[in-house]
Chain A
Amino acid sequence: MKQLAARLLAGVGVLWGAATLTFVAIHFSAGDPVLAILGGPDAIPTPQQLAQVREEYGFDQPLWVQYGRYVGRIAHGDFGESYRLRIPVTEAIGKQIGATLQLALSAALLAIGLALASAVLTAKRNPWVRRVASASELVLSSSPSFVLGILLLLVFSFQWPVLPPAGSNGWQTLILPTIALALPIAGMLSQVLRQELEDILEQPFIAMARARGLSQTAVRLRHALRHALVPLVTLSGFIFASLLGGAVVTEMLFARQGIGRMMLDAAVAKDAPVVLGITLLAALVYVGVNLLVDVLNGLIDPRVKPR
């Protein structure tokens, strides 16, 4: 319990650091920070907007008061208002996050499923099987989502039109983006899992289980896999970060809705509150995921004690 509290505190520390870093970004941006919030150096905000932002962020106050206000607002979940959409950032994120969650969740399931299947089927098998498996893992993990996505579009939407090229309505529009987002992650995970599984299959308890008369497959599924799940859980943070980064390009490529696309549009339009809101949300989820990982690892493998 005490360790968990310490981890929780460290997580809050990271988030505080993240908020501080964004505060630094606003103040050291090229040009006037007020303009940075309202659309960059080329923006033409109304005097009303200028006054509102000055008041909201307290730009006439000393720096430490501004900092305190800023961190305080973020702690309350208030990321300001998007100058472009003219609604609070949290509301804008709320509208778009469903589509991204749908895509990320289906991609995560596909990636983990593929990686588990490949690891269980190829670990410690015929050298040729392993060679083919590790070569395809290398190619997949080296192929960025936007390249895979374009190739998928080319084949399945244009040369051989079976799936819609764009949109975010209906399950058909979800298939290609899911595959494009999942394959690089699956390649990466599969490498780690297979290595782990091969190490585990050399352990004495595996030989024991085989000696008890369990088949090779049963040993893999019932004994080895459970241990191989530890690195999978540990990699959750990595999976999450890849999904979110991949969502930016995938949603753009397939003209889907979602916070990835919103982030990109906001970066192009210099809509700082939206960019920072989504980034801080990503940091929050990342910290949350890693906290959960510590707890889960303790449950899966009681020997792992959180530090």
Chain B
Amino acid sequence: MSTYAIPWRFTLALPNTFRPGLSLAWLFVIGLSIAALVPHWLTGIDPLAAAARNAYLPPSSSHWLGTDENGRDVLARLIHGVRPSLLMGLVSTAIGLGAGIILGLAAGLGPRLVDGAIMRLIDVLLAFPDLLLALVIITFWGQGLWITLIAVGVASIPRFARMVRAQTLVVRDAPYVEAATTLGRHRAAVVFRHVLPNAVKPILILATIGIGHNIITGAALSFLGFGASPPAPEWGSMLAMGRNYLANAWWLVAWPSVAIILTVVSITAIGRDWLARSEGKSR
């Protein structure tokens, strides 16, 4: 317990129970990070280099995961597709988290009228299913990567705002906040130096799990044709293309599917492990 009394301190000691699944998840996420930051370290092949002669080659020693309808290497496209696919999850979560923190803080610390108004707005947002809300935003503000990111982000605001508000209500009446206020600290200083840091950990855990969720929604929107523009490698749009060649090239859809599932599984597993440990449970 004492380890977690101080926020932002990570223990480096080996866990007393070795969990192979979790280690694999971390390994995969580290691999993803490398692929997102420096994809050319992992593959020397250009993901956009088309060669009609090489189209539809099944997995082999020269093209490990096969080639697509334009003769482009599927493995290279998968690796170069990590960055847009992960960014989709990260940026939209950041948008949702930012808006959620502002709304949640305002609701938790503001007067009752503001609290009521914000919570009703959250109730209304919650009444729209994620994907439908995203489609409404796309209908009115047009297609494009940024619109899609904002659409996915807005859909995740309610979860974050509720969590931030709940945490703020807990922290708001803590003795140290009262002490800081009594000592005459400025209200904004109390909010950002004392309330927010102490409310932030459960929120970050929720955000980690939320990234996985948003990667799925983002990939779904790309699959439906609202995300990255066609030549760029992105997992959702790779699936949308591969869908046309199900009868003769299974590798075009199999690998992006595996990539999406493994990514979301790994991120979710890490998030949940963090959650379980922060609650003092080790399963």
A-B contact pairs, 20 of them (CB 8 A): A13-B120, A14-B123, A17-B121, A17-B123, A18-B128, A21-B124, A25-B140, A26-B140, A28-B140, A142-B265, A144-B219, A146-B219, A147-B239, A153-B243, A154-B254, A157-B246, A159-B250, A267-B139, A279-B132, A283-B127
B247 contacts which of A22, A135, A150, A158 (Cβ < 8 Å)?
A: A158
| Among A153, A245, A275, A276: residue with most chain B CB under 10 A | A245
Instruction: Report how far A278 CA is from B254 CA in the complex, Å.
Output: 33
Which among B35-43, B44-52, B61-69, B256-264 touches the partner chain?
A: B256-264
Instruction: Report how far A282 CA is from B125 CA in the complex, Å.
Output: 12
Digitize A3-25: 1 where CB-to-B-CB distance is under 8 Å, 0 elsewhere.
00000001001110110011001
**Does residue A139 face the partner (Cβ distance < 8 Å to B)?**
yes
Q: Are A146 and B250 in contact (CB under 8 A)?
A: no
B127 contacts which of A14, A151, A153 (Cβ < 8 Å)?
A: A14
B225 contacts which of A14, A21, A268 (Cβ < 8 Å)?
A: A268
Q: Which label, helix, strand, loop or mixed, suits the secondary structure of the A interface? A: helix
Q: B150 to nearest A CB, angstroms?
A: 13
If A151-B257, A272-B140 are given as contacts, then 10 extra A-B residue pairs at C-beta distance below 8 Å, sorted by A number, are A21-B125, A41-B142, A144-B264, A159-B250, A248-B132, A249-B220, A252-B224, A271-B139, A272-B139, A282-B132
- CB-defined contacts of B109 to chain A, threshold 8 Å: none
Q: Are B246 and A153 in contact (CB under 8 A)?
A: yes
- CB-defined contacts of B125 to chain A, threshold 8 Å: 21
Instruction: Report how far A252 CA is from B138 CA in the complex, Å.
Output: 17
Q: Are B124 and A18 in contact (CB under 8 A)?
A: yes
- CB-defined contacts of B127 to chain A, threshold 8 Å: 14-15, 18, 282-283, 286-287
- CB-defined contacts of B131 to chain A, threshold 8 Å: 244-245, 248-249
Q: A103 to nearest B CB, angstroms?
A: 15
Which residues of B line the A interface, CB within 8 A? 21, 120-121, 123-133, 135-142, 212, 216, 219-220, 223-225, 239, 242-243, 246-247, 250, 253-254, 257, 260-261, 264-265, 268-269
Q: B226 to nearest A CB, angstroms?
A: 8
Q: B115 to nearest A CB, angstroms?
A: 15
Instruction: Report how far A302 CA is from B138 CA in the complex, Å.
Output: 44
Q: Known: A29-B140, A29-B141, A272-B139. Contact between A241 and B129, CB under 8 A?
A: yes
Q: Are B219 and A279 in contact (CB under 8 A)?
A: no
**Residue on A with the closest CB to B138?**
A267
Which residues of A line the B interface, CB within 8 A? 10, 13-15, 17-18, 21-22, 25-26, 28-30, 36, 40-41, 135, 138-139, 141-144, 146-147, 150-151, 153-154, 157-159, 165, 241-242, 244-245, 248-249, 252-253, 263-264, 266-268, 270-272, 275-276, 278-279, 282-283, 286-287
- CB-defined contacts of B224 to chain A, threshold 8 Å: 248-249, 252, 264
- CB-defined contacts of A248 to chain B, threshold 8 Å: 131-132, 135, 224
